[in-house]
Amino acid sequence: MSKTPDQEIISLILNEATANKGFRLLVSQYQEQLYWQVRKMVVVHDDADDVLQNVFIKIFKGVKNFKGDSKLSTWMFRIAYNESMTFLTKKGKTLQISSQELQDHLTEKLEADVYFTSDEIELALKKALAQLPDRQREVFNYRYYDDLKFKDIATILDLSEGAVKSTYHIAAKKVEQFIKVN
Amino acid sequence: MKNNNQHTQAGFKVPEGYFDSLTDRVLENTQKDKAVEHAGFSVPKDYFSTLEDRILKEVQEDKEVKVVTLKTSKNNTWVYPLLAMAAIFIGFVTINGLFSTDEVTFADLNDQELRDYIVDVNFLQDEESVEILYADNSILNDTEIEQEFTDNELLDYLMEDATLDQIIRE
């Protein structure tokens, strides 16, 4: 299926008569990208599914006010990032554990997760990522897996481009070191 | 083609060229399955094919929940007397207050009742009363003594009422 330009999707959504069609297009075009972004943060499939529903509800409510200061995808990634972080904070509070302990807990569960590959290298990488501070892990995920530009990552995380570059550099070094040692 | 013929002979039929394109389609599907793996994660079968409909349903439901409509009926004339009564009640409460504000003031007390009370109650055992007597002089200031009396009359009165005199001395 050919990709519909973002501007066309927004125009369809802004017109009441074509709003449903526009939103359907938006969902079909971005659901997978957003799902994987959320999944990499919350790890568990069922949690990712719940968060994704909320993300699209937020997008649906806010898209009419989208001013086009950034790319539509970047704007949606930012919503997905915020929703995922809110979810993780709540989950940490429910389990009464810190952010770091939560990452360890999620990584431990990965080994038994039927929706995770049995690939040892991927598992080792996930364990390495779990050791990183939240910010470094997110920057690494966006760059390494999603191949996003530093500029877009900076917009999503509300950081300067320079800060994103140095954060990615530090994160990559730590991951490399962790995998060598372990 | 041989396979096609064999299936036709066994009573089954397949679309023309079915086996010729089968390899390509199988490989295509394998690639599709591969595409739903990302960063080591995978999703349940058919997850993405149903996701769009589920999200749109969820968004629609969320939109509908926010709409709060008041039910209206043509046979709702009984509501108006109730509304009128409620309005009258609210008006009454606003003007007069919900509860009576009548308060007993110091001026309402009979002299004899006051004297009996002072004699009966052991003021010095009651911290609250002591506080009022010695700390809150506003009671005395606010009390209007309507009757004029001389110092001698006051002295005579105090001499006669030894109990009261004793209380004040203590």
Whole-angstrom Cα Rg for chain A: 17
Q: Report pLDDT digits (tens) over B119-170.
A: 676 655 556 655 655 555 555 566 566 666 777 777 777 666 555 555 555 5
> Does B89 map to a domain?
no
Model pLDDT, residue A47: 93
For tokens 């039910």, the residue is: B71
Model pLDDT, residue B34: 47
Give how far A127 is from chain B: nearest CA, Å. 12
Instruction: Tally the domains of chain B.
Output: 2
The pLDDT-based confidence of B16 (bands split at 50, 70, 90) is confident
Is B38 in CB contact (< 8 Å) with chain A? yes
Does CATH place domain A117-182 in 3.90.25.10?
Answer: no
Q: Which CATH architecture has domain A1-96?
A: Orthogonal Bundle (1.10)
Are A39 and B41 an interchain contact pair (Cβ–Cβ within 8 Å)? yes
In chain A (182 residues long), the average pLDDT of successive 10-residue segments reads: 82 88 91 91 92 93 84 92 94 90 87 80 88 92 91 92 94 91 82
Domain positions in chain A? 1-96, 117-182
Within 10 angstroms of residue B139's Cβ, the number of other Cβ atoms is 10
Q: Which residues of A touch B (CB under 8 A)?
A: 20, 23-24, 27-28, 31-32, 35-36, 39-40, 43, 45, 49, 52-53, 56-57, 60, 115-117, 119, 122-123, 125-126, 141, 145
- The complex scores an ipTM of 0.73
Q: How many Å separate Cα B131 from the centre of its chain? A: 39
Are A116 and B59 an interchain contact pair (Cβ–Cβ within 8 Å)? no
Within 10 angstroms of residue A175's Cβ, the number of other Cβ atoms is 21
In this chain, the answer to whether the domains covering A1-96 and A117-182 adopt an identical fold is: no
Give how far A96 is from chain B: nearest CA, Å. 26
Q: How many Å separate Cα B54 from the centre of its chain? A: 34
Cα separation of A139 and A156, whole Å?
10
Are B62 and A115 an interchain contact pair (Cβ–Cβ within 8 Å)? no
> Does B97 map to a domain?
no
Provide the 3-class DSSP secondary structure of residue B23.
helix
The pLDDT-based confidence of B76 (bands split at 50, 70, 90) is low
Model pLDDT, residue A104: 87
Q: Report pLDDT digits (tens) over A6-16.
A: 889 988 988 88
Q: Report pLDDT digits (tens) over A108-129.
A: 888 888 888 767 888 888 889 9
Cα separation of A154 and A144, whole Å?
15
